[in-house]
Chains A and B, each alone.
Chain A
C-alpha cells in the first residue's frame, strides 16, 4: 500500500461575494511511497502551493480523495475529521511554508523547540535538538535567544525550517523552503533532507531552485494551469 494515494483530487474556490468559482486543479492523481520525493512543477498560478495545502487540509479539497496510510489506519485526507487531521499534523505530516508566524516574546530557540515539547519531549532534549538544527542552518548563535519578529526574512526562514522539520514525520510537504535562504543554508538544508529521505520520510515539494534537490527527486507532478486548460 502506498503511503499516499491521491485520486481525482480537485480544488476550486467559491468566492461568494464575486459569485465566482475559481478552479485550481482538477482530477489530479498520483501515488507516493515511503522514502520517495516528488517534485511539484508547473507555471506560476498552476496551483502548486494549493496542492500542498489541500494535502495538509489548510485548503478543503472540492472533490476526490487523498488516501493516506497512517500508523493508525488509512484515512482520506480530503474528508477526514478535523481532529484526525490535527493528530496527523502533530505526529506524522509536516508542512514547511515560506512564511513564519513568529509570536512576540517567544525566542527563536523556544519556537523551534515547541513541536518537540508538544510531542512530550523533555525540555533539555528538545533544547539540544533545536540547537543542532539552528546550528546546521547557520543561524547566528547570538540571536537564538532573541524574538524572531525582528529577524530578517532569511533568518526567519531558518527558524521556520528548523521548527517544521525538527519533529519526526512520515510525510513532509515543502512549499519553497529554500526561497530566501543563502547558499550555505540551502546546502545544509538539502543535506538534512537527504538524511530524512534515507530514513524513509516521504516528501512532496515545490522548489524555487529545483536544481538544489534534483538528486533527491523520484518523480514529478506537473500541474498545468486549470484556467488555461479548461477542465481536464
Chain B
C-alpha cells in the first residue's frame, strides 16, 4: 500500500524534456545485502551536473550504504553506476577492476565523512592530508603539493597559518574543513557528503554549510548530500530523495518534499521535524 502510493507518484512525472544534457551520475537498481538484511533495495538515482541531491532518512535507512557504493568503497550485489565524464562515460564503474576503480575514486570523486577519523590521518599534518590525494595521483613536486594544499585549504576557509597542524589538535569544524579541502584537492566532478555537519555546534555548522554552498556555486559541483537533518537538506539541496528500509519512498524538489510531502512516512518525518 505504501509502496503503491509512492510508485504512483514517481510514475506520474514526465521524463526530463527541457534538460537535454545527460545526468552526471546515473545509478540503477542498486542493491546491497548484509547477510539476510537488505541494506539498499533496488535504488536508482540520477544527478545532473551542478545539482545537489539530498538523501534523507533515519539511521538504518540505507543512506550511508548508498553513499559508500557511490564512493566505490563498497560493491553492490546488483546494480550499475556510471559517471558521465571524459574517459569513463558509459562505463559501469562497478565493473572496473580494483586499480581503475581506485583511479576513478581518487580523481573524480571527493568525500566528506561525518566522522573525521574515517577521512583523515589524525597525526599527519593537515596539508599532508590534502596533498595525499595528489601524491596518489602521481604528483611529485613538493612545491606543487604545497601550493595545491594551500589552495584547497583556503577554498574550504581553513586558516593557512594552521595548515601544518595535525587534525587531532583541531576543533571538529576545522577537521571538517580539512576533510573538505582533501575532497576538493583533485577538483572532483562529484562530491559526496555524509552528514558533513552532524555533531558540530550550531554556529559552526552554519559556517561550514555556508562554505559548502559557496563552493558549490563557484565550482558548479555536483553533490550528493546524506543527512538526517532537514535544515541542512533545505539549505543545500535542490532535490531530495527520502529513504526508508533501504528503499526510496519519495523523491522530489526540496521545497516540495518539505512543504507538500506525499508519502505517509515523509509526512511523519517532516512534521516531526518542523
B58 within 8 A of A: no
Task: State the B residues within 8 Å of A (CB).
Answer: 9, 12-20, 48, 51, 203, 206-207, 209-210, 213, 217, 234-235, 238-239, 251-253, 255-256, 259-260, 262-264, 267-268
A114 to B210, CA, bound (A): 12
Interface centre among A70, A79, A84, A118 (most CB of B within 10 A): A84
Q: Are A79's CB and B209's CB within 8 A?
A: no
A135 within 8 A of B: no
Given the known A-B contacts A83-B16, A85-B253, A86-B253, are A60 and B239 also in contact in the complex, defined by CB atoms under 8 Å?
A: no
User: Which residues of B have CB within 8 Å of A85?
Assistant: 253
Q: Are B256's CB and A60's CB within 8 A?
A: yes
- Chain A, interface SS category: mixed
Q: Contacting chain B: which of A100-108, A162-170, A186-194, A209-217?
A: A100-108
Q: Are B260's CB and A60's CB within 8 A?
A: yes
**CB-based closest 10 A-B pairs:** A16-B264, A104-B206, A81-B16, A59-B260, A84-B18, A58-B255, A72-B18, A83-B19, A105-B210, A83-B16
Task: State the A residues within 8 Å of B (CB).
Answer: 13-17, 53, 57-60, 70, 72-73, 75-76, 79-88, 101, 103-106, 114, 117-118
Given the known A-B contacts A60-B256, A104-B210, are A17 and B268 also in contact in the complex, defined by CB atoms under 8 Å?
A: yes
Instruction: State the Cβ distance, A221 to closest chain B Cβ, in Å.
Output: 20
Q: Are A17's CB and B264's CB within 8 A?
A: yes
Q: Are A81's CB and B13's CB within 8 A?
A: yes
Instruction: State the Cβ distance, A91 to closest chain B Cβ, in Å.
Output: 9
A114 to B48, CA, bound (A): 20
The one of A59, A70, A118 in contact with B18, judged by C-beta atoms closer than 8 angstroms, is A70
Return 22 A-B CB contacts under 8 Å, by A number. A13-B260, A15-B267, A16-B263, A16-B264, A16-B267, A16-B268, A57-B253, A57-B256, A60-B256, A70-B18, A75-B14, A75-B18, A81-B13, A81-B16, A82-B251, A83-B48, A84-B17, A86-B51, A88-B18, A101-B234, A105-B207, A106-B210
